[in-house]
Structure 1
Amino acid sequence: MSRLSDTSSFTASLPPVVLEVGELFNAAGHDLSLVGGPVRDLFLGRVSPDLDFTTDADPDQTVAVIKGWADAYWEIGRAFGTIGLRRMGYQIEITTYRAEAYDPGSRNPTVAFGTSLEDDLLRRDFTINAMALRLPSLELVDPFGGVRDLHGGFLRTPGTPSSSFSDDPLRMMRAARFVSQLGVSVAPEVSEAMTDMAGRISIISAERVRDELVKLLRGRAPDAGMDLMVATGLADHVLPEVAALRLETDEHHRHKDVYQHSLTVLRQACELETGEDGPVPGPDVVLRLAALLHDIGKPATRKFEPGGAVTFRHHDTVGAKLAAKRLRALRFDNDTVKAVARLVELHMRFYGYGEAGWSDSAVRRYVSDAGPLLERLHRLTRSDVTTRNRRKAERLAFAYDDLEARISALAEQEELASIRPDLDGEQIMALLGISPGPVVGRAYRFLLEERMEHGPLSHAEAETMLRSWWREQPESKESTQ
């Protein structure tokens, strides 16, 4: 976190559009203040592309001021007192002073317009977001010590935490998100209220919970944000499978702490993401979800064997199903659900390579099964090594280096990323004299297996193999009777 200073050191970095809109409202006889995240970000040495303002003007009055000045405006949020607009490339929201609260069983806020800036700041989530910059005077309004808390790295609420979280239970997840994004810690009273009120998150729609979770995962320390969710009980309602990873270790400590291991894998996966031009640009939500969820099948598959050994057989396939079910419940899109579940399913595939070695056909299958997820799978598998045994870690790293080298070598020869049978569907039907149907699919899969096993075949070799296979099929024998 950058060192804080007085307002004169950062107001010069304000986008001109901020002062411009301030002058417009002032000329129209209305108060206007830059508020919330954009003010906080000024203290952190960054300018937000999205600018939030609050005003004593009602939505009709706001439209009257900005109409003709804004490049475009929209009124989707009018019911909440918000008018959105675009100007000079900036997304701007201007909201009438307000207060909002949730009824005990409601998923949506009820809105009442307020009458003062200070009252508006009181209803905001945290003190670091309850600061405002009056326009056009540039007076900093900080009635709840937001600068102090930002400097100290603490997350506090303007009023009592219980009142804040009762008004909007999603603020509890937002606290975990800010831990991830900003590196702050929650104040003890905030943590206590989150723990006492964790169950209130259940009234929030799955879509809003998902969006907040994604923001947390995209932060610079998602493991810390997730740890807060687990510690306070929020994860019991949002990601219970992660909370369940806190398995009791046996008295002889024959298996590692699965929960702490998963947080470490998440952190290490973040470190392996690439820049914008790389194969896995960070922050990559799919990779981070897979890292967090990769072992969620372990609680259901844990077994104590005779002699005290602990096993988790098939936890990868069980975990893949659990991950897909949970992500669907959180309303993630189908592509994300399938990608994360597939990575969880494949994350154990590499183990054993270092001891037994793989044939070229096994390497081809590894690449083919990963498909477009291969680069993420590389990073997930490497991140999954959290052993403190230096020799074991080095041995696994060397083995995976070798596997990646073999993949690269085979890719140059065979275009592994797009492995197909040596004959396509049309050629199969022409050669066998059959019509479209299930038999064509079986023949296609047979040729794909042969391609995996033996590498590229010539057209003549593929035809010979297909004819040999066809002679053993019941449909071939029926056609000759």
Structure 2
Amino acid sequence: MSVNLEATRTFSIEVIQTLQAAGFQALWAGGCVRDLLLRKPSKDFDVATDATPDQVREVFGYERTLAIGASFGVITVQGGKRRGQVEVATFRTDLGYSDGRRPDDVRFSSAEEDAQRRDFTINGMFYDPIQKKVLDYVGGQRDLKHGLVRSIGNPYKRFEEDKLRMLRAVRFSSTFAFDLELQTQHAIREYASHIHVVSAERIAAEMRRMLADNHRMIAVRMLRDLTLLHEILPEAESTVGHALRWSETYHSLERLEVSDFRVAMALLLRYACHGSVLNGNPLKPIEPANVVCHRWKLTNDETKTIQWLLRHEHTVRHADQVAWPKLQRLLIADSAPLLIATGYAVQRARDNSTVGVEHAEACMSLPEEELNPDPILSGSDLIQAGFKPGPQFQRVLEAVRDQQLEKRLHTTEEALAFAKAHWD
């Protein structure tokens, strides 16, 4: 049974009620408060309290709680398979960030002090769902009203504490179509070169969320303007260069109609990999996309799909000029719908001529027996006919398949005759 978000929300309110009944202050904190005020759905309902981790465990029982984050004041309260779990964090002040990621130590504090350690004002508010009251010590409601992403306090200090906040600033600004406050912008430009202390996995996680969002083009523009893209994706910056090519890249990201990180990455790296696609060995990974995927530690599926899209996007954009056997092999692939989306995005960014992609999309709607008919010849058929297994097997089978798809061969007997005639 999957977790129900509404059930998780209800469970988080029960957690707050239980803590308040035990004499503690307990509130929703962070992103769920922001989403509530923006009237947007939220996935996480984090709770903040003045109860210490030990007190939280005493209230809910040790069997229902996990102390994985106890050193930072965080206890996880479990609500079961359907209701999920809720993180309960003790109000705290962070004491130093030597690694630019985690606090060296924490001191338990008040709600007001806790708000001051958070990243942006729109994420620094609390809400009491029992009394239906917002607690705002940082001006988050004001910035939400004006559509502004602003660091809490000194932005230089906020980014010194955690360099990932620079990418988060871009994500929040682009996702909500908010402006990024000027001092926050200046601090990001100054600290951009420090982003490398952030792990590849955390960078990739932020980029997944940015590029899968409908505002991905705005995010990429901001990353470039703030010099962050140069740091995290130098391949695209150094290789694309030309203003017209960047314009096309922006517009292709803007016109992409699927929310898929892999497609967006292929569009972003398309010009950077253009030469490698044209001149490289088709059996080897495409550089520099391979370098990026490896550096960001992307999954095998992400890496394979990005490479495949880069290798075949030109073909699908000119599908009306491509031999059917070659096109057919692309259209029966699992990632074919993503390839179609890639082709449309590029063509609409270039000249809006989508005849080739439309042809490919129409072919995908063909009946299965026409789009992907059962092969009329197999390796077993060749062996039974006296052919010796070897390197030629695959070449002959592919040639037979081409002839079948072009409707020049129809039976196994015809296929065997063709094989004998073309066996070296």
Aligned to 2:358: 401
- Is residue 2:264 matched to residue 1:288? yes
C-alpha offsets along residues 88-121 of structure 1, whole Å, 9 cap, x if unaligned? 6253111122234664555544231331111111
- Classify 1:448/1:76 alpha carbon distance in 2 versus 1 (closer, same or farther; 3 Å): farther
Alpha-carbon shift at residue 35 of structure 1 (Å): 0.6
Match for residue 304 of structure 1?
none
CA distance 1:192–1:315, change in 2 (3 Å): farther
Secondary structure at 2:223's aligned position in 1? helix
Change (3 A) 1:327 1:294: same
Q: CA deviation at 1:141?
A: 1.4
CA-CA distance at 1:403 after TM superposition: 4.0
Q: Cα offset for 1:154?
A: 0.4
* Distance apart, 1:44 and its partner CA: 1.1
**Which letter does structure 1 place at the counterpart of 2:15?**
V
- Structure-2 separation of matches of 1:142 and 1:221: 28
Residues 1:375 and 2:329 aligned together:
no
2:389 is equivalent to residue 423 of structure 1: no
How far residue 50 of structure 1 moved from its aligned partner, in angstroms, is 1.7
- The 1-side partners of 2:254 and 2:280 are apart by 21
Corresponding residue of 2:5: none
Residues 426-441 of structure 1: pairs in structure 2 closer than 5 A: 426-432=380-386, 434=388, 438-441=391-394
Instruction: Report the Cα offset of residue 45 of structure 1.
Output: 1.2
Corresponding residue for residue 167 of structure 2: 173
The 3-state SS of whatever aligns with 2:365 is: helix
AA partner of residue 251 (structure 2):
T
2:327 counterpart (363, 368, 373) = 363
Match of 1:457 in 2: 410
Asked whether the equivalents of residues 289 and 307 of structure 2 are also in contact (C-alpha less than 8 Å), the reply is yes
SS at match of 2:190: helix
Write the distance in 2 (CA, Å) between the matches of 1:20 and 1:145. 28
Alignment of 1:104-143 (within 5 A): 104-105=98-99, 108-134=102-128, 136-143=130-137
AA partner of residue 64 (structure 1): E
Say which of 85, 89, 92 aligns to 2:77: 85
1:75 partner SS: strand
1:23-62 aligned at under 5 Å gives the runs 23-62=17-56
Pick the aligned partner of 2:225 from 207, 226, 231. Answer: 231
**Conserved 8 A contact 1:236-1:243:** yes
Q: Is the 8 A contact 2:32 2:42 kept in 1?
A: yes
The runs of 5 or more residues in structure 1 that have no matched partner are 1-13, 250-256, 274-282, 302-311, 473-481
Report the CA distance between 1:362 and its aligned residue. Answer: 4.3
User: What is the aligned partner in structure 2 of residue 444 from structure 1?
Assistant: 397
Report the alpha carbon displacement of residue 41 of structure 1 after superposing the two structures with TM: 1.0
Taking a change above 3 Å as real, the CA distance of residues 455 and 79 of structure 1, as seen in their structure-2 partners, is: farther
Structure 1 pair 145–451 and aligned structure 2 pair: CA distance change class (3 A): same
Partner of 1:63: 57
Contact 1:420 1:451 survives alignment (8 Å): no
Looking at structure 1, the residues matched to 261 and 408 of structure 2 have their Cα atoms a distance apart, in angstroms, of 35
Gaps of 5+ in 2: 1-7
Deviating beyond 6 angstroms after TM superposition, the runs of 4 or more aligned structure 1 residues are 315-319
What is the aligned partner in structure 1 of residue 67 from structure 2? Answer: 75
Match of residue 190 from structure 1: 184
Shift of 1:447: 3.1
Structure 1 CA distance for aligned equivalents of residues 291 and 269 of structure 2: 12
* Structure 1 residue 148 displacement after superposition: 0.5
Contact 2:148 2:173 in 1 (8 A): no
Corresponding position of 1:326: 292
CA displacement at 1:226 relative to structure 2: 1.7
Please, what is the CA RMSD of the aligned residues?
A: 3.0
Q: CA deviation at 1:17?
A: 3.4
What do the CA deviations read for 1:356-403 (whole angstroms, capped 9, x no partner)?
A: x344334334435xx112111111111112467xxx53xx22343234
Q: Percent identity?
A: 25
> Contact 1:420 / 1:448 at 8 angstroms: preserved in 2?
no
Q: Aligned-pair distance for 1:434?
A: 3.3
Other-structure match for 1:466: 419
- Asked if the contact 2:151/2:184 (under 8 Å) is kept, the reply is yes
Q: 2:370 aligns with which of 414, 420, 435?
A: 414
* Aligned length in residues: 415
Distance 1:398 1:442 in 2: 32
Aligned match of 1:267: 254
SS at match of 1:220: coil
Asked if the contact 2:125–2:140 (Cα under 8 Å) also holds between the matched residues in 1, the reply is yes
Change (3 A) 1:263 1:314: farther
Q: Is the alpha carbon distance of 1:219 and 1:179 closer, same or farther for their aligned partners in structure 2, counting shifts above 3 Å?
A: farther
Decide which of 138, 147, 167 is 1:144's aligned counterpart: 138
Letter paired with 1:288? A
What amino acid maps onto 1:376 in structure 2? L
Q: Residue 287 of structure 2 aligns to which amino acid in structure 1?
A: K
Tell me the SS of whatever aligns to 2:151.
coil
TM-superposed CA distance for 1:236, in Å, is 1.6
CA distance in 1 between counterparts of 2:374 and 2:293 reads: 31
1:324 match: secondary structure = helix
Deviation at 1:183, TM superposition (A): 1.4
- SS of 1:49 mapped into structure 2: coil
Letter in 1 for 2:69: G
Distance 1:131 1:338, change over 3 A: same
Displacement, 1:290?
A: 2.0
Pick the aligned partner of 2:313 from 326, 347, 354.
347
- Cα pair distance change 1:441/1:100, threshold 3 Å: farther
TM-score by length of 2: 0.87
TM-aligned CA deviation for residue 336 of structure 1: 0.8
